Structures are given as C-alpha cells and as structure tokens.
Structure 1
C-alpha cells in the first residue's frame, strides 16, 4: 500500500508515500488512511514537484502521493513557526480546489451615499456540487437570517425583497477554473418558484409599490440572460467568485482591470495591482490583495471637467489547503457629488456558529 521512498531524494527526511491505484480518489485514499483529505492534499502539494500538484483530485499520470511522516512534537512545533511559502501551480497560477467545500459565511454590507448609511447582514452557505471535464464547477448558494439596519425587514419593499430571495435561492451557479461566476444553472427551478411566489404576493399585497415590484421581477426573470444581469449586482456573488485564481508573475503580482457594481446594474472599472503574499500569514492563510484606482473611460468627453475618482481595495484570506475563502474585506468608493462607498465583509463561520 505505502512505503518509505528515498529514491527521488526529495528532502533530507524520507517521505512516506502511497502508490496510487486505478480507481483511487483523494477522498477514498484519505478514508483508507484515516486522515483528512484537505491535510493529505496540503502536505503533498508542499513537497511535490509543481506538475504533480493535486487540484480537485489526482492527475491521471500521478503515481505516488507524498504522505506526512511522523515527527516529534518538538520538530512539528519548529516547522509550524517557520514561515511557509505559498504553493502555486504551473505558470504561477493560484490553484482553485473547490472539491468537497461546504462552508457557511457571515456577510455584512455597509453602503454610504453622502451622509446616509445603510447596513445589511445575512448568513450565506456555499456548497460545491460537481466539477465537469472542462474544469467548470457547480456550486449551490443559500441565504438566510437577513437583517436590514440591524432589524428584521418590516417595510413592504423589504418584505418583497425577502420574497425575491426565496425565489432565487437556493441558487446553483457555474464557476470557471479561475473561481469566477459565469452562468446560472437552475433557471428553470427559479422560474417555477416565481410563479408560486407571484400568486402569493398578489393575494397578500396590493398597491403601486407591489405593482412596480412585480414588473421589475418579471423583467429580471424574463430569461437566463436577464437574471444573470440582475444578479451581477449581487455583492456576495461578485466578491466571493471574483476570479482571483489566475496566473501571477514570479514575484507573485500583476496588474489588471477589475469591474465592480458599485451602483446597481452599473459597472465601474478599476485598474488594480493584484498580489499574493509569498508566505502564509500567522493564521496559515494565503493573503491576496487588490488595490487600485477608478479608470474613467469617459474622461476625454468631460469637456474640461475634472474626471471622477475612486478607489478599490480588497483583501482575501484563503485556506492554504483548499485555496477557498476564509475571509474577505472589500471597500469600493467613488467621489461623486454625493460620495458613494461600499464596504463588504465576508467571514467563514466556525463549526457550531449559526
């Protein structure tokens, strides 16, 4: 099953390895050895050659899995104190390994428009469902426990918005290999739920506000394209599935343009520097930062007026094994006549938290 292998000379310590057999998966081997699959993958990825990195599961050509040797408490403590370098894949790509992920997050938004400040809090669960042969991933998103300005929604508009959430969620989405949300998977289910919810709304609510809400919802749910456009302004989906799992340079950084819906259904472009801290932080997480300024594409048509200015700053803390989000802090602002600023905080809940 496994043996001590020193023929490769991979380190001064002999590595315990497992010979991968036909039909083996990361989870099946973890179960057989009685260890956590994430830990199994984490240790292998630290010590293997770059082409042998495990992503969603074993590569077809991978022959041996590197296992953690048994060490004394003293040596383990010394290793934990030593800075650990972040493992990247081929072409310095930040891997995206969602297989088996099932997490709950506390989400908090603060929106400031001029002197008016509004907050929204909710819990969101993210569950990986499947990965296809083209490395597209299927996720299920659920939302609950929504509070507006620290209170349960009580206005008609707030209640109607809550009804919308009941229609859209559970939401199944398709995410590409960079971790970016690219499509809605369960539009037919959502459309079916809307038919039942619409009847319930018309039976319970009335007036111009309700009529306007129904018209708006009908437009958003006209087809999969219109719903995707509507949900593109959802702060959680755009922040969490931001597509940060791409190739970096040898110094763990690069510059690119990031689009963000600071205002609903309106995209703002920011030219940002994106960088990874080469070493895990004190909580053994991978730190990814995005920082940049608003890119005013209409500046040349402002006829002498000063261009709009704005800032985009985001910090992602990722699990060093699964490369999945543990925490995000994002702040986006624009200096209009009435300045706008959105602050988004997303943090994984610990076991037992609700």
Structure 2
C-alpha cells in the first residue's frame, strides 16, 4: 500500500491536520494506526513523541477502489464521511392513481462523528407553495419537535438509533402548547395525543423516522461491498405503503466512474420480489398469509435509483429514487435531492475583483402520525 507522510508542525492537532488534508479524523487515525509501529498509535490526541503521520489522499484511495472495480468486478464503498455541514434541496412526490402531492424543503446534515449526524429542516413547501391548509400547518408545527434530530448510523449508512430522544421529549410540551394557542378542537386533541404516544416511546419514534421517504432514501445503506455482474442481484426495500413493512425489490447494481466530473454513479434497477401477494398488501398484511389463496396474484412494480457521489469521501452529491406498486390505484413515490453549493462572493476593491470563498462552516453547529 503506497501512502504519504505528513510531517507534524508546531501547533498541529488531529483536527487541524484532518482539515489540512481533507481527511476525516476516523480515516486519519485508522490508516495511520494500521501501518505504524505500536508505540506510534494515535488515540484521541496526538502523542507528544509523534513526528509524522502516514496517510493516503482521498482521491488516491478512491482510484484504488476504481481499479479494483475494473479488475475484480467488485467495488467497496467505504462509509467514511468528512466532518462538515451540508445542505440539500429535497423533494418527495407521492402518487396515488391520478393524485399527486409533493413536499420540498432544505435538509441540513452535519456529521458530528463518523456514525453520528445532526439534521435540521426548513423552508417547507407543499405542492410548491407554503402550507395553507390547517392540517398541513399543524403537521409542520409538530415536526418542529424533532429538529435538531441526532441519529446514529451503522457502518453501511443506515439509521440505527436516535441519540437525542430526551431532548425531543423535552421540546414536545412547548410545541404542543403553541399549537393549542393557534388551534383548538376535540379532533386536534386526539391528533396531539396520537403524536405524543409516538414521541414518548423511543422505539415507536425510531420506526416512524425510518418510514420517512427522504431519510430512508438518503440513509439507504449504500456503503458496502458490491459484487457486480449480469446475474448478480441484491435486495432493496422501500416503505411505499403506509402501515406496512417495506416492499422488497430485486435489483441489478451498476457503478460508473465519471472521471471528468470526479464523480461515481451508483445505480439500482429491478422489480418487485416481495413474497406477499396482491391480496396481502390490500389487506394490510405484514407477512404472506398462512392460508394461501388459490393462484395468488403476485405483486408487480419497479425500483430505480441512482446516487451521484463525490470522489471526496463518497459524499452524496445528488440522487433520485423512484419505485411503484401496481394496485387498483398505482402507488408510486419519487424522491430527489441535490447538494446546494454556496456561490463565491465577489468583492471589488480599488479596481480589483477578488473571489472570496464562503467561510468554512465544517464545525458549525412533519411527519409523525399520518
């Protein structure tokens, strides 16, 4: 394994070196500790006797993976995000037969640790306009209880647990009282009670969060090793139908190196492979019926998605996911997002135009019941 050497300078810390090299703290420690002598292992701080750190540049690391892809028809997407705050514009569109409804918002995600993220949302639009229906406005106010939301992730990038459940519970009484100040009815009280039951129960709240179409798409477990080939199928799941376990699809995986853009495109395409029948889904069964009907009608539907990833840390630049299920009224969902890059600022001084990059914010810090 070829690597480079960083000579430690006076005043350096692990954080400052990580920033200089554009490498996450996890990657910096992990790679160095893998190849250094035992006496030179790095913990939470730089040992005083350490004079140099071994590392591999992110792009070289990506290129090695791409060479492996060409030679072995396999590819490893490592879950190793940089510690920064990123903003995405997200849109989720729901289709039921001829009906179409969409919600869009800005999604801010900050990587606190390798497996811990903090999420906020703002600027909600429903069907391309500010929420005006009372039900939408109430749901939006209730969603404010969740954010900021801190989630721990597994090593594939899937949601594992809620880290700040206590904070969420503590926010709820204030949010609830503000809603009552604006709206008051017997129906509202029942709605608040249903949401309160979910908020109080960490397991129930986690399951509800996992059903969120955008969060499910973003934290889709894409960071894994892929065996590629014409006959190689993997399974993808999506919570397409409310109050049902996610629908299973068998998909083909494709990985492309878009070298001119310094991006990797990860694509999935396939059809329903769920063992439940059409009748099972209509009846809201979590699992296939024990008493099988004669000639059960199989489910039919498609799954298509692609993720455009930066060479740097395989960070999601944009993605599109769509899947459907052929029912009496077709059930379909489309989720799309793209990363918002802040434009540089132009400063004119004494006839000279200087481009100033935005300040580094790497360390800056509605959907419950249906």
TM, length-normalised to structure 1? 0.76
Alignment of 1:1-354 (within 5 A): 17-19=4-6, 27-29=15-17, 35=20, 37=22, 54=27, 58-63=31-36, 64-65=54-55, 86=66, 92-131=75-114, 137-249=115-227, 254-266=232-244, 267-277=246-256, 279-299=257-277, 301-352=292-343
Contact 2:228 2:254 in 1 (8 A): no
Aligned-partner Cα distance in 1 for 2:216–2:172? 23
SS at match of 1:288: strand
Name structure 1 gaps, 5 residues minimum.
1-7, 42-52, 69-82, 132-136
**1:75-100 alpha-carbon deviations (Å, 9 max, x no partner):** xxxxxxxx997367998421111131
Q: Distance in 1 between the 2:146 and 2:179 partners?
A: 15
Q: In the alignment, what sits opposite 1:78?
A: none
Most deviating of 243-252 and 332-341: 243-252
Contact 1:167 1:190 in 2 (8 A): yes
Q: How many angstroms apart in 2 are the aligned matches of 1:56 and 1:114?
A: 52
Alpha-carbon distance, 1:118 to partner: 0.8
Separation in 1, partners of 2:29, 2:208: 31
SS of residue matched to 1:248: strand
**Distance in 1 (alpha carbons) for counterparts of 2:155 and 2:29:** 10
- Change in Cα spacing, 1:308 to 1:161, as seen in structure 2 (3 Å) is same
1:163 is paired with a residue of what secondary structure? helix
* Superposition RMSD in Å: 3.3
Q: Which residue of 1 aligns with 2:361?
A: none
SS at match of 1:167: coil
Residue 29 and residue 251 in structure 1: after superposition, are their counterparts in 2 closer, same or farther (change >3 A)?
farther
Specify whether residues 66 and 196 from structure 1 end up closer, same or farther in structure 2 by C-alpha distance, changes over 3 A only.
closer
Shift of 1:30: 5.6
**Separation in structure 1 between the aligned mates of residue 57 and residue 237 of structure 2, nearest angstrom:** 41
The answer to whether the 8 A contact 2:90-2:104 is kept is yes
Give 1:350 shift.
1.1
2:66 and 2:75 in contact (8 A); partners too: no
CA contact (8 A) 2:32 2:55 kept: no
Distance 2:215 2:270 in 1: 21
Structure 2: gaps spanning 5 or more residues: 37-53, 278-287, 345-370
- CA 1:160 to 1:345, structure 2 compared with 1: closer, same or farther past 3 Å? same
Q: Shift in Å at residue 110 of structure 1?
A: 1.3
Q: Deviations over 1:261-318 (max 9, x none)?
A: 11233221112223322x2354211111111211231238343242220111110011
Name the residue aligned to 1:4: none
**Number of paired residues?**
305
Partner Cα distance (1:239, 1:56) in 2: 30
Give, in whole Å, the separation in 2 of the partners of 1:55 and 1:259: 34
What's the TM-score once normalised by structure 2's chain length?
Answer: 0.73
8 Å Cα contact 1:292/1:311 also seen in 2: yes
Higher relative contact order (CA 8 A, sep 6+): 2
Q: What SS class does the counterpart of residue 33 from structure 2 fall into?
A: coil
> Matched residues in 2 for 1:87 and 1:349: separation?
30
Give a deviation string over 1:33-70, Cα, whole Å, max 9, x none: xx5515x99xxxxxxxxxxx9477544133533579xx
